[in-house]
Amino acid sequence: MDKLRAAKGFICDMDGVIYHGSQILPGVREFVAWLYKENKQFLFLTNNSGKTPRELAEKLARMGLEVDEHHFYTSALATASFIASQRPGARAFVIGEPGLYNALYEKGITLDDVDPDYVVIGESSSYNYENICKAVHCVQNGARLIGTNSDLTGPTDQGIMPACRAFVKPIELVTGKQAYYIGKPNPLMMRTGLNMLGVHSREAAIIGDRMDTDIVAGIESGLDTVLVLSGVSDRKTVETFPYRPRLILNGVGDIPPAL
């Protein structure tokens, strides 16, 4: 735990680490209090594209946890920044939630379901056959396919449910085009997170519940890696990957007592 104690910055996943759906996980309040007490720089870096940082802050507030919105960064924000840097003033057909639409709007990206430059897919409760067909048509006509993140599943109050990559896959299969995924473990998202923290990767740790996004992102970006078993991965899951986290904990609540 000495290396974790010495870390100046913490990048934390949210779904499966901080909460499941609308239920805050055990020990989270104590962990966040410890971050503030020790004056650690921290960022909640989530692949979920559905909510804005303000909405995420309000969600935690409803659970009794006050965290300022500048501590949040989402795959929606990363996706909007990427598209704006690649093609300023781009047009996009979007399947997603308000957090994604808002991020794209803030970067000057126009919604267009007729002749878009990009098809952008995030988590969405409005995902349906009509939208899939429209997305397929746009990609077949030359639009670039973007996924906000590569998560296949995610933890919810009802258990493990489909996530972004599950929504993108039918479009990939029909068009033969592979999506470019922006969220973790893409280094674009990790570099932005470290820049927001203002710390070097050697001085930071990532805490997540997924081996295929959080832990591999940390390893490839040079961060200390902490897997918590409160979300998707368990100890058997770890054995199926060719890499390992440095620490495996039951949840973030294990950290303050140990330190």
Taking CA atoms, 33 is separated from 4, 40, 252, in Å, by 16, 10, 12
Query: What is the DSSP pairing of strand 23-24 with strand 19-20?
Result: antiparallel
Which residue in the list 2, 13, 68, 234 is annotated as catalytic?
A: 13
Which residues lie across from 249 on neighbouring strands? Answer: 228
List, edge to edge, every strand of the sheet that includes 41-46. 72-74, 41-46, 9-12, 204-208, 224-228, 247-249
Local structure of 99: helix, strand or coil: helix
Going by C-alpha positions, the residue among 115, 76, 112, 82 that lies closest to residue 96 is 76
Catalytic pick from 15, 151, 214, 224? 15
Q: Which residue has the tokens 């040079």?
A: 222
CB 168 within 8 A of CB 32: no
Is 15 a catalytic site residue? Answer: yes
Across the strands, what pairs with 153?
162
Catalytic residues: 13, 15
